[in-house]
Amino acid sequence: MLIDFFYTLRAAKLPVSVKEYLTLLEALQADVVGPRNPDACTLDDFYHLARTVLVKDEKHFDKFDRAFAAYFKGVEMLADFTQEIPADWLRKEMERLLSDEQKANAPRMDWDELMETLRKRLQEQKERHEGGSKWIGTGGTSPFGHGGYNPQGIRIGGKGGGRSAVKVWEQRSYRDYDDTQELGTRNIKMALRRLRKFAREGSDLELDLPDTIRATAANAGWLDIRMVPERHNHVKVLLLMDVGGTMDEHIQRVEELFSAAKNEFKHLEFYYFHNCVYDYVWKNNRRRYAEKFDTWEVIRKYNKDYKLIFVGDATMSPYEILQPGGSVEYNNEEAGAEWLQRLTHAFPHYVWINPEPQGMWQYRQSIAIIQQLMGQRMYPLTLKGLEEAMRVLTK
């Protein structure tokens, strides 16, 4: 009975399988939501059940919300819910007790009229309202707002309770879980796995079942066990990380990225720098002045098959990139831009991962310079950004 809903989700690029669809039907038949009376199961109940059964990853919540709304009357086409409603309109200052008569006289509208009326209210309303039956507000019988009563309104803000709203999901409170979400170590690992090239190396530790079967059959049934080396990600990564200064604001996320990279890549080499790479880097921040590594030696030591990943917010004075002596710590003989060009020339597969929110990039002159030096291969430290960066490194 919900086959069209299933196809709507698939059209929205949601990874929903037939088995999950059948599980949803079984849950409905078993009255998982609502009492035994089918009429008592609200659309809100069905929404939460369907999302629980069909959506396997939080990053798909936003797509699911859009597809759900599109199936049940095409919400996005009827009203502009991206328009911001002033928080003052939704401030609840008092509990309002409504009489049975007021509730009985609450305005009722069908779906199309409800959505069209909301569109008009968003255009006409200029101030806050409370306790009424028409405007977006609180405590009344209006179909729009919260804290009051309406048998089939749109709850905007506030907490539910009456369970009579015909629309609450399009608030899309999960939008931050989409591709721009801030990452945890698990999500970073999933993104880094796009950069994989498996090879078998080391001692024979794993059973080679197909070869064992062939060898046993050729040996007249006598068991002939064949072993092969374990499969490992053969990709080699050179990780250069900015540390200190403005990077202190991003410590947690960079640590998560570093931890995920160490677990994901067997061949990982890493070094630190501050703001921009100059003639030396280091591995231990406590011994950064005593244990320096010449940048030229780093370039000579590793082959071109290493994938070069810079991690830094690229936030500094432009002089630190473009001028000899521009470093804030010492008098560097050559500009940082020279060293960046040498590194990207030595390692053709390179990207820059920036933990600074992408919305701030346009306000940082130094970020624009680094982007140019990187050939625009700068990506934000988000799920989508990491996936794009890994895709570039595999080319």
Q: Which neighbouring-strand residues pair with 196?
A: none
Q: How many residues does the chain have?
A: 395
Report the predicted TM-score, pTM, of the whole model to 2 decimal places.
Answer: 0.50
pLDDT on residue 112 = 66
Task: Decide: 346 and 295 in contact? Cβ < 8 Å.
Answer: no
Q: 326: which residues sit within 8 A by CB, 6+ positions away?
A: 317, 319, 320, 332, 335, 336
Chain segment 351-369, per-residue pLDDT in tens: 999 999 998 899 889 999 9
CA dihedral over 331, 334, 340, 342, signed as positive or negative:
negative
**378-380 β-sheet, strand order:** 292-294, 280-282, 267-273, 236-242, 306-311, 350-354, 378-380
Cα R_g (the chain), whole angstroms: 29
Residues (pLDDT < 70) of the chain are 1, 34-42, 73-99, 102, 105, 110-112, 114-115, 126, 129, 131, 133-137, 139-140, 143-185, 196-206, 229-233
pLDDT on residue 73 = 57
Please report which helix (H) or strand (E) contains residue 129, including its range. strand 129-130
Burial (CB < 10 A; 0-12, 13-18, 19+), residue 146, is buried
Cα distance between residue 23 and residue 14, in whole Å: 16
Task: Decide: 379 and 385 in contact? Cβ < 8 Å.
Answer: yes
Task: Decide: 355 and 310 in contact? Cβ < 8 Å.
Answer: no
Strands 280-282 and 292-294: antiparallel
- Distance set, CA 49 to CA 15, 112, 154, 172, 384 (Å): 17, 25, 20, 16, 28
Other C-beta atoms lying within 10 Å of the C-beta of residue 155? 24
What is 234-393's CATH number?
Answer: 3.40.50
Other C-beta atoms lying within 10 Å of the C-beta of residue 65? 22
Sequence spans of domains, the chain: 3-172, 234-393
DSSP string, 175-240: GGGSTTPPP-HHHHHHHHTTS--EEEEEEEEEE-HHHHHHHHHHTTT-----EEEEEEE--EEEEE
Where b means 16+ CB within 10 Å and e means fewer, 303-336 reads eeebbbbbbbbbbbeeebbbeeebbeeeebeebb
